[in-house]
Amino acid sequence: MTQAIDRPKTKTLQSSTFTNLKCRECGTTYDLGAKHVCEECFGPLEVAYDYDAIRRQVSRETIEAGPNSIWRYKAFLPVATDDPIDVGTGMTPLLKANRLARRLGLKELYIKNDAVNMPTLSFKDRVVSVALTRARELGFTTVSCASTGNLANSTAAIAAHAGLDCCVFIPSDLEAGKVLGTLIYDPTVMAVHGNYDQVNRLCSEVANTHGWGFVNINLRPYYSEGSKTLGFEVAEQLGWELPDHIVAPLASGSLYGKIYKGFNELVKTGLVDEKPVRFSGAQAEGCSPIYQAYKEGRDFITPVKPNTIAKSIAIGNPADGIYALDIAKKTNGNIEAVTDAEIIEGMKLLAETEGIFTETAGGTTIAVLKKLVEAGKINSDERTVAYITGNGLKTQEAVSGAAGEPLMIEPKLESFEHAWERANTLNRLDWQQTQV
Amino acid sequence: MAVKVLIPTPLQKFTNNEATVEIGGDNIVGLLDTLESKFPGIKARLCDDKGELRRFVNFYVNSEDIRFLDGKETALNDGDEVSIVPAVAGG
């Protein structure tokens, strides 16, 4: 550990840079409360900023001198406090993936590795750190969420750290690691007999009647802004330059849109030079409503019932689906889908070439990256970033059986030698098979 | 015949802050008309100028999204529960 446990405070003399909530559809503005839906047209509310104020407050140097967490970008985030909840979230490695790049036929590939984001090993810690900081500011004492697993882990953990009461809702069929990884923080866990979309609807109804801060419902405008830091960090880690092409998983479509917004905000505030960035999105075939709409040239999403091992991105009724479609089209990107078998191969490929054990969502992203390169939809000389958003230790069920077995031996040299010879023979056969 | 309708927060100002109302309607179209007659102004929030349901509103009948049923024509029976839910949530 290189950092103190009592993390340095993010004290600044900056004033707030966010001004109001604004409907993305009709432009109606609202005050900065716990509200996510436009009362006029039901459109999503989004946080608006004073970019001139941000431009005056930050420079590359002030950001680089800030905390080693998402809070180095506090001027771009919708919280007023000088003392946000900082549990070390963000500033995850941007790994130059040379071996995977060679395998795929790319010249310059990077992995943004949120499989090791803190404290709960997924990108969700970014959005939850922002949401719970804002929840505290707005006076909530109980926080909640509808989750496919990672968000429940993160909300429960960061609520524990912040001393907030917590009640989370998950589908009852989640992977064991994701359930245990929530229960350990001692929230109330509601395991709902239904899929994520049903959990989400139930939570919208609960949010109507209970005065709780639901991070991805009534706090959603604040929460979702946390994902912009995935755009900010990649640009900073590339030496304050934007990449040529990014590939990210699509569940609700929110993360994808916020990376786009993050890049644009850096351009708007003069921190990076403007350049086109192509945005490609990854879905699992068993839950691919955004891909289906993209393929059929529709500008609306038809919901589906999920059936895939990629449970963390199994959202059949994606809230930001239409915005994701729009971004893919206007950036000359693509949206692609892969089978469960391809997802497992994607997880293995990333592990074997780069030493990163990602979950099924990451397997989806790598499998789609591979598919797009093979189809010539990512050029070999594009500087490409693939976003890995979760950790494979949480979804062990998906690859157990696909990753092989240990060789069981006796504590004797002879037993080892015998097994070693056998393993090498098997490896050789494998190798010969792939040559055929 | 009456069905129970769950009203989302942004519309509760039309329903005297009631989160649920009991009203009649043979199908979703009929339900919208009944809602409008009882709570004037509410329909314009749920439907666009052409009378189509707004794209950021979801309707559920007994927990099933009407897009998996018969859409606006989905039939309603006595005792059904209709939930009107903003589409923008989750993820």
Specify the CATH number for the domain of residue A313: 3.40.50.1100
pLDDT band at A433 (very low <50, low <70, confident <90, very high): low
Does A255 have pLDDT greater than 90?
A: yes
Residue B39 lies in a domain: yes
Under an 8 A CB cutoff, do A197 and B8 touch? no
Residue B84's pLDDT is what?
96
User: Average pLDDT of A233-252?
Assistant: 98
CB contact under 8 A, A42 and B88: yes
For residue A352, tell me if it sits in a domain: yes
Question: Sign of torsion, CA A163 A167 A171 A174?
Answer: positive
Q: Is A312 within 8 Å of A390 (Cβ atoms)?
A: yes
Instruction: Specify whether A98 is located in the same domain as A210.
Output: no
For residue A18, the cross-strand partners are A49
- The count of domains in chain B is 1
C-alpha span between A155 and A27 (Å, rounded): 30
- Decide the pairing of beta strands A29-30 and A94-96: unpaired
Q: Residue B87 and residue A224: Cβ atoms within 8 Å?
A: no
Q: Using CB atoms, pick whichever of A37, A216, A254 lies closest to residue B86.
A: A37
- Judge if A84 and A102 occupy the same domain: no
Note whether A22 and A60 are same-domain residues.
Answer: yes
Nearest Cβ partner for A318 among B9, B68, B91: B91
Instruction: Evaluate if residue A10 carries a pLDDT over 90.
Output: no
Query: CB distance from B91 to chain A under 8 Å?
Result: yes
> Has residue B91 been placed in a domain?
no
* Domain span including residue B32: 3-86
Answer for the pair B32, B70: CB distance below 8 angstroms, yes or no. Answer: no
Interface residues on A facing B, Cβ-Cβ cutoff 8 A = 25, 36-44, 146, 194, 196-198, 200-201, 203-205, 207-209, 216-217, 220, 224, 251-255, 300, 302-303, 305, 315, 317-320, 322
Subunit contact B90:A146, Cβ cutoff 8 A? yes
A300/B45 Cβ within 8 A: no
**Is the CB of residue B91 less than 8 Å from the CB of residue A315?**
yes
CA A436 to chain centre: 39
Whether residues A27 and A116 share a domain: the answer is no
Look at strands B64-65 and B57-61 and give their pairing.
antiparallel
Q: How many angstroms away from the CA of B84 is the closest CA of chain A?
A: 9
Pairwise pLDDT comparison (A426 vs A343), residue with the higher score: A343
The residues with which B6 forms a beta bridge, in sequence order, are B20, B83
Domain span holding position A136: 18-88+124-223
Same domain flag for A382 and A332: yes
Closest partner residue to B54 (CB to CB) among A42, A208, A216 is A42
Q: Which amino acid is at A255?
A: L
* Averaged confidence pLDDT in chain B: 94
Is B69 a member of any domain?
yes
Same domain, A435 and A319: no
B36, B89, B13, B10: which is closest to A40 by C-alpha? B10
* pLDDT tens, position by position, A43-102: 999 999 999 999 999 999 999 999 999 999 999 999 999 999 999 999 999 999 999 999
- With 0-12 CB in 10 A as exposed, 13-18 as middle and 19+ as buried, what is A241? middle
Locate the chain A residue with the closest alpha carbon to B65: A303
d(CA B25, CA B75): 9
**What digits encode the pLDDT tens for the residues A293-335?**
999 999 999 999 999 999 999 999 999 999 999 999 999 999 9
CATH number of the domain to which B18 belongs: 3.10.20.30
CA angle in degrees (0–180, nearest 5) for A350-A351-A352: 95
Of the candidates A271, A282, A274, the one whose C-alpha atom is nearest the C-alpha of residue A232 is: A271
- Chain A interface includes B58 (CB < 8 A): yes
Q: How many CB pairs (< 8 A) connect A and B?
A: 97
Same domain, A212 and A257: no
For residue A345, give the nearest of A369, A314, A327 by alpha carbon: A369
Q: Give the Cα separation of A156 and A167 in Å (integer).
A: 8
- Residues A217, A248 within the same domain: no
Contact (CB<8Å) A319/B90? yes
What are the tokens at A363?
């397997």
Answer yes or no: do A256 and A269 share one domain.
Answer: yes
The residue ranges of chain B whose pLDDT is under 50 are none
Whether A155 and A242 share a structural domain: no
* B56/A203 CB distance under 8 A: no
In this structure, are A41 and A149 located in the same domain? Answer: yes
Kindly determine whether residue A220 and residue B88, on different chains, have CB atoms separated by under 8 Å: yes
Assess whether A213 and A285 both reside in one domain: no
Q: Please count the other Cβ atoms lying within 10 Å of the Cβ belonging to residue B1.
A: 11
C-alpha dihedral (A35, A40, A44, A49), degrees to nearest 10: -70
The domain total for chain A is: 3
Residue A322 and residue B55: Cβ atoms within 8 Å?
yes
Q: pLDDT band at A434, cuts 50/70/90?
A: low
Determine how many CB atoms are found less than 10 A away from the CB of residue A206.
17
* Strands laid side by side in the A165-171 sheet: A188-192, A165-171, A142-146, A213-214
Residue A376: the pLDDT is 98
DSSP-derived secondary structure for A296-350: TT-SSPPP----SS-GGG--SS-TTHHHHHHHHHHTT--EEEE-HHHHHHHHHHH
Between the alpha carbon of residue A426 and those of residues A360, A402, A422, A435, the distances in Å are 28, 16, 6, 14
β-strand A165-171 against A188-192: which pairing, if any?
parallel
